Amino acid sequence: MAGILVVGGGPAGLESSWHLAERGQEVILIEADEELGGRPRWYTCKAVDQCRKCGACLVSEKVYRVENHPAIKVMTGTEVSKAYHNGTGFQIKLSRGEAVVEIQVAGIIMATGFDLLSPARRPEMGYAHLDNVVTAHEMEQMLAKGSGDWEDLLGAMARIAIVKCFGSRESIPGVTIGDQDGDQSLPGFWKHRSGVPYCSRVCCLYSEKLAVVLQDKIPGATVDIFGIDNQKYHPVYAVGQNEGYRLIRGIPSRIYPGPGQAVSLRYEDGQRSLLSEGVYDWVVLCPAVLPGDKGRGLSEMLQVARDGHGFIVSRAGFTDQPGVFAAGSCTGPQTIVESLHSGQTAAENLLMSLGL
């Protein structure tokens, strides 16, 4: 029996693999990194007194189940170097370093995830040269790798700014997506651009949870959240606004060093129409969600259609190529739970399309 190839071991790929295996299929799950879990494997628990439903622990549970399923062969550190439709299915060449394996599969699920806009594209925001200006993903990694003493890591009574909507919801007059600065050798949406017009959907959710847990773990810490507004796409995740952090409507225009080890942040306070400045020990940027660059080669090999932003066009997991399905944030920004659901849907519809 030809198996199914699942590409990407984040929430979406894990869930697809699990459902396919439970329905009697032989699954090969490949992951470019050395570990399964995708981006959420770095996310810290956001519980304060009780679970705050961030979804991170759902992923570690899925990793355990997938790694121990007899019908799932997991190959980490592995990518697809060649893929084509050969009439009866797909001929695939998998590479891990110098080692190459050829396989034949009946179907493919792409669960190749997302990337984040590089904040270095905005030199005025200090990311490239200020050590205490980091992305939210880097902050999660610091917290996960640290000793668990957040006060020790970030400083007593740390003053923290979280900058949401960083590079999202940009409207630059006269500039269409793909026409902005960046590597001109790349087609449209793969250029390293400085902003995207859409909402990244997940950053309101995670920034509020991060703010609350930071204030809980570091006595006396203060958190200001800057952003265009507050999206409540996900009622299950909704948190109140009176949880200690300050919500400031406005995006900072500049971040610069000082006083001392701190950084200063200049912003227009949208509510009071005032140009203001704030001093912080840490600035956490929430950059725009972009289509994952590691999935680009495969989507080109399989000639899968993408939308104007570079995300795979998918309806209930179906792409425009027979036998090729897509799940999770490679189809657009999604939460962990949404990615798990789309992984399941893609698996079910792939089986249906193969008559299995």
Ligand X SMILES: Cc1cc2nc3c(=O)[nH]c(=O)nc-3n(C[C@H](O)[C@H](O)[C@H](O)COP(=O)(O)OP(=O)(O)OC[C@H]3O[C@@H](n4cnc5c(N)ncnc54)[C@H](O)[C@@H]3O)c2cc1C
- 63 touching ligand X, by CB under 6 A: no
Q: In Å, how far are 92, 118, 137, 187 from 82, measured between CA atoms?
A: 6, 28, 31, 20
- Of the residues 105, 160, 336, 347, which one makes contact with ligand X according to CB under 6 A: 336
Q: Which of residues 269-328 bind ligand X (CB under 6 A)?
A: 292, 294-295, 298, 328
From ligand SF4, ligand X, none, interface partner of 79 (C-beta below 5 to 8 A by class) = ligand X
**Which burial class, exposed, middle or buried, applies to 84 when counting CB atoms under 10 A from its CB (0-12, 13-18, 19+)?**
exposed
> Distance between CA atoms of 324 and 5, rounded to whole angstroms?
10
Q: Which residues bind ligand SF4 (CB under 6 A)?
A: 45-47, 51-57, 164-165, 168-169, 199-201, 203-204, 227-229, 231, 286
Residue 154 and residue 210 in contact, taking contact as beta carbons nearer than 8 Å: no
Minimum CB separation from ligand SF4 for residue 229, in Å? 6
Minimum CB separation from ligand X for residue 252, in Å? 18
Binding segment toward ligand X, per CB under 6 A, in 26-34, 165-173, 187-195, 303-311: 26-34
Over the range 325-341, which residues count as b (16 or more CB within 10 Å of their CB) and which as e? bbbbbbbbbbbbbbbbb
Instruction: Give the list of residues 6+ apart from residue 145 with CB closer than 8 angstroms, or none.
Output: none
From ligand X, ligand SF4, none, interface partner of 57 (C-beta below 5 to 8 A by class) = ligand SF4
- 140 touching ligand X, by CB under 6 A: yes
Report the 10 Å Cβ neighbour count for 205: 23
- Of the residues 114, 127, 226, 245, which one makes contact with ligand X according to CB under 6 A: 114
> Distance between CA atoms of 247 and 216, rounded to whole angstroms?
17
- 250 touching ligand X, by CB under 6 A: no
Interface residue list for ligand X (CB under 6 A): 7-13, 30-33, 38-40, 43, 54-56, 79-80, 111-114, 116, 136-137, 140, 202, 205-206, 209, 292, 294-295, 298, 328-329, 334-337, 339
